[in-house]
Amino acid sequence: MSALGLLLTVTTAVTNAPFAPGLLHPGAAPTALPAPHYPATTRLYAAPDTPAALWVREHSGDPRARVLAGRIASRPQASWFTDPDPLKIEGQVHAVVDAARAQRALPVLVAYAVHRRDCSGHSTGGTGGAAAYRAWIEGFTRGIGTARALVILEPDALALTDCLSGRERRERFAALSYAGRMLHDGAPYSRVYYDAGNSGWHPAPTMAGRLRHAGATRYADGIALNVSNFNRTRDEIRYGRLVLRDLGVSRLGMVIDTSRNGAGPARGHHACDPPGRRLGQPPTTGTGVAGVDAYLWVKPPGQTDGCTAAAGTFDAQYGYLLAR
């Protein structure tokens, strides 16, 4: 399902199933799995201006504030970059990267500005076209420079290519390939994870084919799964291994968004502000699972998808119910 209700400005537990270290999950590809891209002790950057943190500071007397502060606001979460202005993006990225470097922490950065992102859905927008996107990703890359960063490249951009014409699909693949090459060459200490949808969306061979067309076999360090979705971690691991097997590149790993998947998907896989969801595995690079580089909170918990409130709004009650 689509990555709805994403963070519209730069400022942005429960594990589903245990895995023994290195255990190959039943049904996964029986191929060699890569060594982790990050040490298990890697410190992930917890920004002071996540949606939950800002709300807690402004509502310290609210009875929900303590739960939100301890279980959401204090956790590392991704920083989304959605402003399509290529003149602003370098400074915006640099500010987050510099703050993370001061804490000796690894920032998780989400590039989300490709033309026609979300196929005119709740998170519609992006740059005005191919040339504008190239300028945007160039600025994004300069903002990282020689700093360390984990980059998630364009949630849903490949999974949603069905809404595009043939010419637009070719432009989308070219744009992501250009982005991958820019980050690979221009931000040498970053690692790039191409978004690969989730286990409830496309068959693994379909997604592998799209990743290949978009340059992932040449420029990616791995794939990102379950962004802004609710599927169980074990299902994403199984799916991710099938995608990577079809890609046939043994060095690639995966990262999984566990921000709201503690209760699994809603009935019918309804993915727009579904009730009854729970926080998932806290963010960590110590997954204990071969080939899984990190569990991340890519979608900031408590931020709406666009059905109960405007997309990108922090809903304290929703966050509280996720965390309670």
- Enter the pTM of the model: 0.90
Q: Between the CA of residue 191 and those of 108, 201, 254, 289, what are the distances in Å?
A: 10, 25, 11, 19
In the chain, how many domains are there? 1
pLDDT of residue 218 exceeding 70, the answer is yes
Residue 156 annotated in active site: yes
Q: What does the pLDDT look like over 60-102, one tens digit per residue?
A: 999 999 999 999 999 999 999 999 999 999 999 999 999 999 9
In this predicted structure, what is the pLDDT of residue 124? 64
Q: Does any domain span residue 5?
A: no
Q: Does any domain span residue 222?
A: yes
Q: Tell me whether residue 189 is exposed, middle or buried, using C-beta atoms within 10 angstroms of its C-beta: 0 to 12, 13 to 18, 19 or more.
A: exposed
DSSP state of 36: P
- The separation between the first and the last C-alpha atoms of the chain, rounded to the nearest angstrom, is 25
CATH number of the domain residue 199 falls in: 3.20.20.40
Binding residues for substrate: 80, 201, 229, 299
Q: Which of 285, 250, 286 is nearest to 34 (CA)?
A: 250
Q: What does the pLDDT look like over 277-292, one tens digit per residue?
A: 999 999 999 999 999 9
Q: Does any domain span residue 213?
A: yes
Residue 235 annotated in active site: no
Which candidate in 195, 221, 293, 305 is catalytic?
305
pLDDT band at residue 309, thresholds of 50, 70 and 90? confident
* Cα–Cα distance for residue pair 217/54, rounded to 1 Å: 39
DSSP state of 69: I
Binding residues: 80, 201, 229, 299
Which candidate in 83, 156, 246, 293 is catalytic?
156
pLDDT of residue 107 exceeding 50, the answer is yes
Q: Which domain holds residue 96?
A: 51-323
Contacts of 131 (CB under 8 A, 6+ apart): none
